[in-house]
């Protein structure tokens, strides 16, 4: 198993997305995962988004949130 998260990794930004109708990975598991993440890294840098009616798939709103996250946290490429 890995050691504790330390140094610069404590400040990593995380976006976790979950559909509230996912039959494969219940929303409760996503909620538990995000709470565990918040206990391991700076909780202010953890964002948890849920999408109404989304199953084990994706949706336009999720893709837009991911694009916004990437634009905010990753340097632009030429």
Q: What is the pLDDT of residue 2?
A: 59
| Beta bridge mates, 39 | none
Task: Read off the pTM.
Answer: 0.86
pLDDT tens for 23-51 read 999 999 999 999 999 999 999 999 999 99
Q: Across the strands, what pairs with 46?
A: 14
pLDDT at 1 over 70: no
Q: How far apart are CA 11 and CA 46, in angstroms?
A: 9
> Domain boundaries in the chain?
12-73
Q: Quick check: helix, strand or coil at residue 16?
A: strand
Residue 73: strand, helix, or coil: helix
Percentage of the chain beyond pLDDT 90 is 83
């Amino acid at each position: 198993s890995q050691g504790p998260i330390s140094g610069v990794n404590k400040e990593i930004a995380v976006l976790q997305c979950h559909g509230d109708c996912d039959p494969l990975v219940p929303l409760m598991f996503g909620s538990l995962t995000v709470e565990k993440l918040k206990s391991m890294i700076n909780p202010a840098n953890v964002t948890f988004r849920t999408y109404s009616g989304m199953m084990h798939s994706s949706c336009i709103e999720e893709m837009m949130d991911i694009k916004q996250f990437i634009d905010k946290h990753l340097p632009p490429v030429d």
